Amino acid sequence: MQHIGKYEVIRRLGRGGMGAVYKGLVPVIDKVVAIKLLQPNELLEEMVGLQQLEEIFTFEARTMAAFNQPFLVTAHDFDRDQLGRLFFVMDYICNNLGDMIGETYLLEEPSRIIGAEKVLEYGRQILTALDLLHHQGIVHRDIKPQNILVTDEDTIKICDFGMALVQGISFSGPSNMQVGSPYYTPPEQRKAANSVDGRADLYSTAVLLYRMLTGQLPGMQSFSLSLVNPRYDRHWDAFFTKALQWHADQRFQSAREMLAALEHLTLGPPSASGRCTVADLWQPEKTLRTEPANVCRSRARELFAVNTLFRPLEPICNRFILEGEIIRDEATALLWRRLASPFPVSFSGACDAVEQLNASVAGGVNRWRVPTVNELLSLLADGDVQRFPDDPVLPVHWYWSCDRHGQHESWYVNMDMGFAGVQDVSCLNHVRAVADAHP
C-alpha cells in the first residue's frame, strides 16, 4: 500500500481486530502522522457486520475530533481511501506506556518500574484528562498502558476511543464481546459494560498507577506499598485501598476527587543505591562493543547483555574524571561529551550532530561517534537509574544509540528508567557523543 487517500504510507505500525494503524506523510509539507484504517478481520466483520463497524469507527473519530485538551489524542481528518475504507488521521506519537514498562500479552509477568515522581506526574495528567472526559459524558472503558501515549516532551496522551461510552451511547458489538482489557477492567464493567460511569476509568487508572510503581498488578488481598518500600507511607496504602475497591460506590467518586488525593501524597527520600565497593573501582578496564549492529529483539539480549526487561545484567562501576568539556571513564576507557545535544533530534539528526562535533574538533577530539547500546547502558547505576554527571540545568533522559532495528527503527536507551528500547528513526531523542580514550 503506497497511499491511504492523499497520505503517503511509510509503513504499518500495528494491527488489531478493527484495522491497522499506519505511519504516513501529509503531502507537500511532509508532516508525519498516524493513520487509523478500518480494515476488520473476517471473523469480526462476520460477527458485527461492516455497517455497524463503520458506525463504531465513525463514532470514535467524531469523539476524538472534538477534543481540545493537551492530554488527549485528537483526530484531524476523516475520509475513505481508494478502496472505500474509512480512515482517520492523528498526530504521530512515538512512545506508549506499554512499551515503556515492557508489558506484554503475558500480563502476569513483572514489568519495569517507573520512578515515583514520574508516576505522580503521569497520574496527574491522566486524571486531568479523565476529569474533562467525564464532564463531557465520555467514559473511556479501556484505560491501560498501551492506550497511554508518551510524547517526546514526556507528557501523556490518552488514545483509542473505540470502546468509549459517550453520553450513554456506545457501539460495543455482540453482547458477549468483552469491553476493556483483563486485569484493568473493573467488575461492574465485566457484568454490564453499557451501564458504567467514570468510576470504571478511575479503577483502571488505579491499576495502571500501581503497576507503574511496583512492576506488578495489584493483588486481591493487599495493596500495601508501605510494607515493601519506605518511600511510601500509610497514605499511599489508603489511596490504593480506596481506588481499587470492588464496589464503585466505595471508590473515589470523580477524577477530580482522585486527583486531589493523589496530589496530597508525599514521598520519603529515595534509598541509597549502588552495589559498587571501593575494591570494584579498581577492576581492570571493561571492553565494550563499539561497532554498530542491526539486531532484532530476539538476538539483542545476548548482544546487549541485558535481562528480559532489557536492563543490564551487570552494572559497571564507573570511574569518572571531569576534563573540561569531556568526562573520561577509566572503567571503560571511554570519553563522553560533558553535555548532550541541546535539543532532541531524529536518528539522522543525531548522526549529523556528531559529524558537526568532529568537524569542529570539539573538546580537542575528532573521533566522536554515536554510542552503542552497550556503551550507553554502562552509564547506569546498578542497571537502574542514571548516575552520569549531567548538566544540572538540562536534564536529559533518552539517548539514541548507533544500533539499528531493521530499516525504519533504531535502538535507544531510556536513562531514567534504565532500559534499551526501539523507536522509529523519526522520533526525537537526545544524543551524547562518545569516543575511545585511546586513539
User: What CATH number is given to the structural domain containing 430?
Assistant: 3.10.100
One domain, residues 13 and 40 = yes
Phi, psi of 270 (to 5 degrees): -65, 145
Task: Tell me: pLDDT of 279 over 90.
Answer: no
pLDDT mean across residues, the chain: 88
Question: Quick one: average pLDDT of 2-19?
Answer: 89
pLDDT score at 390? 52
Q: Which of 168-182, 232-246, 377-391 has the highest mean pLDDT?
A: 232-246
For the chain, the domain total comes to 3
Where are the extended beta strands (E) located within 318-389? 320-323, 326-329, 334-337, 380-381, 385-386
DSSP state of 338: S
Phi, psi of 170 (to 5 degrees): -150, 165
Residue 275 inside a domain? The answer is no
pLDDT score at 275? 61
In this prediction the pTM is 0.89
One domain, residues 104 and 81 = no
Query: Long-range contacts of range 360-365, CB-CB < 8 Å, 24 or more positions apart?
Result: 362/325, 362/337, 362/433, 363/324, 363/325, 363/326, 363/335, 363/337, 363/338, 365/326, 365/335, 365/435
User: What is the tens place of the pLDDT at every residue in 206-255?
Assistant: 999 999 999 999 875 556 888 878 889 999 999 999 999 999 999 999 99
Looking at the chain, the whole-number percentage of residues with pLDDT higher than 70 is 90
**Would you place residue 272 in the very low, low, confident or very high pLDDT band (cuts 50, 70, 90)?**
low
Q: Which three cell numbers stand for residue 296?
A: 532484532
One domain, residues 85 and 104 = no
Residue 268 inside a domain? The answer is no
One domain, residues 258 and 341 = no
CATH number at residue 10: 3.30.200.20
pLDDT score at 170? 64
Grouping H, G, I as helix, E, B as strand and the rest as coil, residue 80 is strand
Task: Tell me: pLDDT of 396 over 80.
Answer: no
User: 51, 67, 91 — which closes off a domain?
Assistant: 91
Its domain, for residue 49, covers 3-91
One domain, residues 321 and 252 = no
Report the range of poorest mean pLDDT among 145-149, 349-353, 414-418.
Answer: 414-418
CATH number at residue 101: 1.10.510.10
pLDDT score at 384? 45
Looking at the chain, the whole-number percentage of residues with pLDDT higher than 90 is 65
Q: Is residue 205 within 8 Å of residue 148, measured between CB atoms?
A: no
- Residue 406's CB is within 10 A of a number of other CB atoms, namely 12
One domain, residues 332 and 430 = yes
Cα–Cα dist 359/341, whole Å: 15
One domain, residues 86 and 131 = no
User: What is the tens place of the pLDDT at every residue in 298-335?
Assistant: 999 999 999 999 999 988 888 888 888 899 998 899 99
pLDDT score at 175? 57
Residue 428 inside a domain? The answer is yes
Residue 274 inside a domain? The answer is no
Cell 519506605 maps to which residue?
230
Alpha carbon distances (Å) from 28 to 7, 24, 77, 397: 10, 12, 16, 33
Task: Tell me: pLDDT of 393 over 50.
Answer: no
One domain, residues 118 and 157 = yes
Cα–Cα dist 165/172, whole Å: 9
Residue 10 inside a domain? The answer is yes
One domain, residues 340 and 301 = yes
One domain, residues 287 and 397 = yes
One domain, residues 292 and 354 = yes
Residue 20 inside a domain? The answer is yes
One domain, residues 157 and 244 = yes
